[in-house]
């Protein structure tokens, strides 16, 4: 019980997060997302959030999660069992491209209330849950490596450093989400993604795939704008 109390105290501790640090973290995240050299090795983190969102949506809608795979080309696959059509399947399929932005928005809410350190502990908890569903070696390595980085930050950096890292992670998710949607549409335009989430949703609902791409982008940009309203000085 003492250990749990200490962990809870650390996870809920408030950490100073000056506006300049928040803005600096946003700039760092933007550079990472905009730079091809940096985007490629960090994109797997977005795939982790994408597939994790599929998995959470599957469980929330009563489907049985059968496993998650992450691949070295930054793609992924989440398999769930249940009705092949219907609202549960639609929500599960739609969650992927919305997940990183919504995770980022939730993290921004914690930052805005002074609980930046809690962002990192929430990430660790979600990674631990995801690890139980990973079904391939690369996915196992990717989740463990990501968790090790976050755990190292919580163990070795002071509260101010943890808060700055949490802000960078938050902005990275928020900025990366729209980019992945633009990449999706680019792949669709070149006919390289016939079974993308948007195309699966089109088959499930009868609505055009381009409409789903537009919805993904709208929600992701709205999440980014709302987080910026909460976090950036005005």
Closest CA to 173 of 43, 55, 51, 69: 43
CB-based contact 228:23 (threshold 8 Å) = no
CB-based contact 196:184 (threshold 8 Å) = yes
Report the pLDDT value the prediction gives residue 88, as an integer from 0 to 100: 96
Question: Is 208 strand, coil or helix?
Answer: coil
pLDDT for 98-146, tens place per residue?
Answer: 999 999 999 999 999 989 889 999 999 999 999 999 999 999 999 999 9
Backbone angles phi, psi at 232, to 5 degrees: -85, 140
Residue 2 is assigned to a structural domain of this protein:
no
Number of domains in the chain: 1
Average pLDDT estimate for 165-188? 97
Burial class (CB in 10 A: 0-12, 13-18, 19+), 89: buried
Report the pLDDT value the prediction gives residue 1, as an integer from 0 to 100: 57
Q: ∠ CA(220), CA(213), CA(27), 5° rounding?
A: 30
Mean model confidence pLDDT for the chain: 94
Report the pLDDT value the prediction gives residue 70, as an integer from 0 to 100: 98
Residue 68 is assigned to a structural domain of this protein:
yes
Name the one residue in this structure whose structure tokens are 């905009």.
Answer: 34
Residue 129 is assigned to a structural domain of this protein:
yes
Using the 8-state DSSP alphabet, how is residue 13 labeled? -
Here the contacts of 52-56 (C-beta below 8 Å, separation 24 or greater) are: 52/99, 52/103, 52/126, 52/130, 53/95, 53/96, 53/98, 53/99, 53/100, 53/102, 53/103, 54/78, 54/80, 54/92, 54/93, 54/95, 54/96, 54/99, 55/80, 55/130, 55/133, 56/95, 56/99
Residue 12 is assigned to a structural domain of this protein:
no
Report the pLDDT value the prediction gives residue 82, as an integer from 0 to 100: 93
Name the strand (E) or helix (H) holding 140.
helix 137-156
Residue 39 is assigned to a structural domain of this protein:
yes
Average pLDDT estimate for 204-214? 97
Reported pTM: 0.94
Residue 4 is assigned to a structural domain of this protein:
no
pLDDT for 52-109, tens place per residue?
Answer: 999 999 999 999 999 999 999 999 999 999 999 999 999 999 999 999 999 999 999 9
Distance of alpha carbon 94 from alpha carbon 92, whole angstroms: 6
Residue 56 is assigned to a structural domain of this protein:
yes
Domain span at residue 111 reads 18-231
Residue 9 is assigned to a structural domain of this protein:
no
Q: Where are the beta strands (DSSP E) in the chain?
A: 64-70, 76-81
Both structure tokens of 188 = 């669709």
Q: Residue 6 above 90 pLDDT? A: no
Closest CA to 174 of 129, 234, 107: 107
Distance of alpha carbon 106 from alpha carbon 134, whole angstroms: 24
């Amino acid at each position: 019980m003492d250990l749990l109390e200490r962990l809870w105290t650390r996870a809920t501790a408030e950490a100073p997060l000056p506006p300049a640090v928040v803005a600096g973290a946003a700039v760092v995240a933007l550079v990472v997302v905009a730079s091809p050299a940096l985007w490629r090795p960090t994109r797997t983190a977005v795939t982790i959030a994408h597939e994790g969102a599929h998995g959470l949506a599957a469980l929330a809608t009563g489907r049985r999660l059968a496993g998650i795979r992450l691949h070295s080309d930054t793609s992924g696959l989440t398999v769930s069992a249940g009705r092949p059509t219907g609202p549960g399947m639609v929500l599960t399929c739609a969650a992927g491209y919305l997940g990183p932005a919504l995770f980022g928005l939730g993290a921004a809410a914690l930052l805005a209330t002074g609980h930046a350190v809690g962002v990192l502990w929430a990430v660790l908890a979600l990674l631990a849950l995801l690890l139980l569903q990973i079904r391939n070696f690369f996915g196992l390595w990717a989740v463990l490596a990501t968790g090790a980085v976050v755990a190292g930050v919580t163990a070795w950096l002071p509260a101010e450093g943890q808060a700055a890292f949490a802000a960078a992670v938050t902005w990275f998710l928020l900025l990366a989400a729209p980019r992945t949607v633009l990449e999706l549409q680019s792949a669709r335009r070149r006919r390289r993604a016939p079974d993308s989430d948007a195309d699966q949703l089109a088959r499930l609902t009868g609505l055009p795939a381009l409409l789903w791409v537009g919805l993904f982008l709208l929600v992701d940009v709205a999440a980014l704008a709302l987080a910026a309203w909460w976090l950036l000085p005005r």
